[in-house]
């Protein structure tokens, strides 16, 4: 018992130390910056702040304060509910953004623990399991997605598979509860992972039972049923909302959208952006999106190939009779399915194209909302990390323990050097002078707010304009006509085009219709940039996220003058109170 506790403490210390190393030097500013960019980085912060505010306050959770008067706007993207609860509980202790950053850092530690447990169960090699944990947690498909807070919770997927195997082998009620809760939490945080697990876990469970060639016992069926029931109970309220919004607003992804973020063979040579070791490749001009940075690393690839060869050399009879080997092959099967799905709805060579299996699922409920199918690569990454552990186990088999420790340290050092990247951060903006106008709104009667200029969804700067404003809106909680999420509601483009046209200083009927239709009570005209990246990238386009003082006055002059009740100049913004 003492030895087990000592080992757990040692591993936990190692994993925490590795996480701090990979977050250095940015971790020195843990109380001032957060990982990400000026769009999704702020958007996920808004999500967790809104969630906790709504859960603990009078607000309706899914009727978030964006895209007013549309309902259920939180369901336009991932809810992050369990993560929001954890962050919210940490806020009184550590404050913002330290609370958010600590949870982010914790996902790396949990990721390593989960992958370690799974790899050790499959291979029986502790040192190899440590390497598998590093590969899964920090390789490009994972660390390259650091701008998406919700995707860090892929850390729970190895634990889901680990608990499933425990249920299948041991049939314990406690393991069934752990499986149901972990799977439900994962799905609540990120819809992508709910879909992914809906493929992986049933495939492994059915495969296990078929392979067993025996009639499942009552306890096998009962424990699996308990896990499925718990998962359904946790996820049902959110899943129902997602399905309702998807069907009601026809929020489906078309083949063109899916193809843009599907994996291509060359993506498996793409390291994470801002890689210290592979900077020459990670910064090339023709870079694709972060979602398709899929290079697993040289050391991981070599060890995984050794693992494949070692598996092929084993007799089929041995594989069938060893439960852990059976689990290993089922994990490889699930990894192969994820690998194929990551390539999207069609493949081809030159001008010849053919449909891929995912095309059969792309129209199903929930699946039809998936755009970045390359994220299915998480499944082969888990299988590959386990193969890394198996390959290392075979290399060190029969060798002195000291040799194994030295090899582990050397391979881990090389792998971490491969995976280490410069993590971009954004400053805290929901405090100080930037939030003056939000402090003013907080003391005014509730009413719909329109912020100008509106971010245009047809441009890449939509999120850069609206996400920072959304985060700051948590201070006052007034509903916003503006918004940024995975989708935009019908009529939103019309509102953007109509109100942004006020920049000409000429009144227009469409803008007045927007004010009437949305019963706008407050108008915020931004006169200074909130996000330096926007103003720095386009200094010659002042209308992207703010207006200069002269242009702001032209906008005011284009408003119906009889509607203006009051105007207040605050730091970087002009607040106009309107009569409905």
Q: What is the mean pLDDT of each run of 10 residues along the chain (580 residues)?
A: 82 96 94 92 96 93 96 94 96 95 97 97 93 97 93 97 96 96 96 95 94 84 96 94 90 85 91 86 55 90 92 57 76 96 86 86 85 94 96 90 94 96 87 80 95 92 92 95 94 94 90 94 90 50 79 92 92 90
The single residue listed with the structure tokens 């242009």 is 551
Distances in Å between the Cα of 432 and the Cα atoms of 53, 331, 451, 570, 571 are 20, 50, 19, 12, 10
Cβ-contact 167, 227 below 8 angstroms: yes
Contact 242, 75 (CB under 8 A): yes
Sheet (strand 522-526) strand order: 449-452, 522-526, 573-578, 564-570
CA distances from 443 to 66, 254, 475 (A): 20, 44, 10
Q: Which of 540, 559, 545 is nearest to 482 (CA)?
A: 545
Residue 397 has which token pair? 């088999």
Tokens for 578? 């309107």
| Residue 159: cis peptide before it, omega within 30 degrees of 0 | no
Please give the Cα distance from 396 to 129 (Å, whole number).
Answer: 13
Residue pointed to by tokens 């999704």: 40
Six-digit token pair at 168?
């299948």
Q: Write out the H or E segment, with its range, that includes residue 526.
A: strand 522-526
**Token reading at 476:** 């006052």
* Helices 191-212, 323-341: crossing angle, 10 deg rounding: 140
Q: Are strands 449-452 and 425-427 parallel, antiparallel or unpaired?
A: unpaired
Beta strand 449-452 pairing with 522-526: parallel
Q: Which pLDDT belongs to residue 281?
A: 60
275, 293 contact by CB (below 8 A): no
| 183-194 core/surface letters (b: 16 or more CB in 10 A; e: else) | bbbbbbbbbbbb
Q: Are 429 and 530 in contact (CB under 8 A)?
A: yes
What is the residue whose two structure tokens read 């369990």? Answer: 82
- Closest of 43, 63, 68 to residue 480, by C-alpha: 68
Cβ partners under 8 Å of residue 65, min gap 6: 50, 59, 473, 477, 478, 479, 480
- The secondary structure of 130-176 as a DSSP string is HHHHHHHHHSHHHHTTTT-GGGGGGGGHHHHHHHHHHHHHH--HHHH
Name the nearest CA neighbour of 110 among 174, 180, 182, 181.
Answer: 182
Q: Is 208 exposed, middle or buried, given 0-12, 13-18 or 19+ CB atoms closer than 10 A?
A: buried
| Alpha carbons 277 and 418: distance in angstroms, whole number | 6
The token pair that represents 125 in the structure block? 């090699």
Residue 314, Cβ density class (10 Å: 0-12 exposed, 13-18 middle, ≥19 buried): exposed
Cα 359 to Cα 364: distance, rounded to the nearest angstrom: 10
**Residue 446 in 3-state DSSP?**
coil
Q: Residue 519 — left, alpha, or beta (φ > 0 → left; ψ -120 to 50 → alpha)?
A: left
Cβ partners under 8 Å of residue 336, min gap 6: 380, 383
Q: Bridge-partner residues for 348, per DSSP?
A: 353
**Helix H or strand E encompassing 440:** helix 436-442
Up-side HSE of residue 108: CA atoms within 13 Å toward CB? 23
What is the pTM for the complete model shown? 0.93
Largest CA distance in the chain: 87
Choose among 128, 212, 199: nearest CA to 161: 199
Q: Is the dihedral of CA 518, 523, 529, 530 positive or negative?
A: negative
Which has the closest alpha carbon to 505: 546, 543, 551, 455?
Answer: 551
């Amino acid at each position: 018992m003492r030895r087990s506790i000592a080992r757990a403490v040692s591993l936990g210390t190692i994993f925490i130390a590795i996480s701090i190393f990979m977050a250095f030097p940015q971790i020195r500013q843990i109380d001032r910056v957060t990982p990400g960019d000026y769009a999704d980085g702020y958007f996920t912060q808004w999500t967790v702040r809104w969630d906790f505010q709504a859960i603990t306050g009078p607000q309706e959770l899914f009727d978030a304060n964006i895209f007013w008067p549309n309902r259920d706007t939180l369901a336009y993207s991932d809810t992050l509910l369990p993560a929001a609860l954890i962050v919210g509980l940490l806020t009184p202790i550590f404050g913002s953004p330290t609370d958010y950053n600590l949870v982010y850092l914790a996902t790396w530690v949990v990721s390593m623990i989960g992958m370690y447990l799974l790899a050790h169960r499959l291979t029986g090699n502790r040192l190899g399991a440590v390497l598998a944990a590093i590969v899964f947690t920090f390789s490009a498909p994972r660390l390259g997605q650091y701008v998406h807070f919700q995707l860090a919770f892929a850390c729970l997927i190895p634990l889901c598979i680990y608990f499933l195997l425990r249920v299948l082998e041991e049939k314990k009620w406690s393991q069934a509860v752990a499986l149901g809760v972990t799977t439900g939490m994962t799905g609540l945080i990120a819809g992508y992972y709910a879909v992914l697990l809906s493929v992986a876990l049933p495939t492994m469970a059915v495969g296990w039972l078929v392979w067993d060639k025996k009639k499942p016992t009552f306890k096998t069926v009962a424990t699996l049923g308990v896990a499925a029931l718990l998962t359904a109970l946790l996820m049902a309220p959110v899943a129902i909302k997602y399905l309702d919004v998807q069907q009601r607003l026809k929020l489906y992804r078309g083949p063109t959208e899916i193809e843009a973020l599907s994996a291509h063979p060359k993506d498996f040579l793409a390291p994470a952006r801002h890689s210290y070791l592979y900077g020459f490749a990670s910064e090339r001009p023709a870079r694709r999106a972060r979602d398709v940075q899929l290079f697993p690393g040289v050391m991981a690839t070599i060890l995984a190939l050794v693992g494949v060869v070692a598996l092929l050399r084993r007799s089929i009879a041995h594989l069938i009779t060893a439960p852990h080997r059976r689990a290993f092959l089922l994990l490889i099967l699930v990894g192969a399915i994820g690998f194929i799905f990551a390539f999207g709805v069609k493949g081809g060579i030159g001008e010849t194209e053919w449909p891929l299996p995912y095309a059969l699922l792309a129209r199903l409920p929930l699946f039809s909302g998936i755009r970045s199918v390359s994220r299915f690569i998480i499944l082969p990454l888990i299988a590959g990390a386990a193969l890394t552990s198996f390959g290392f186990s075979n290399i060190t088999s029969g060798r002195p323990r000291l040799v194994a420790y030295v090899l582990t340290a050397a391979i881990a050092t090389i792998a971490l050097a491969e995976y280490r990247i410069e993590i971009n951060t954004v400053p805290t903006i929901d405090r100080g002078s930037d939030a003056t106008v939000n402090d003013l709104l907080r003391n005014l009667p509730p009413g719909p707010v329109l912020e100008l200029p509106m971010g245009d969804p047809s441009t890449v700067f939509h999120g850069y304009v609206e996400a920072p404003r959304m985060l700051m809106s948590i201070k006052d909680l007034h509903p916003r006509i503006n918004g940024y999420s995975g989708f935009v509601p019908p009529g939103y483009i019309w509102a953007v085009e109509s109100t942004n046209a006020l920049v000409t200083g000429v009144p227009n009927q469409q803008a007045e219709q927007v004010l009437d239709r949305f019963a706008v009570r407050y108008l915020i005209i931004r006169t200074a940039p909130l996000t330096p990246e926007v103003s720095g990238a386009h200094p010659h386009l002042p209308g992207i996220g703010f207006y200069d003082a002269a242009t702001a006055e032209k906008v005011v002059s284009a408003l119906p003058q009889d509607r203006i009740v009051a105007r207040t100049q605050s730091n970087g913004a002009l607040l106009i109170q309107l009569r409905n």
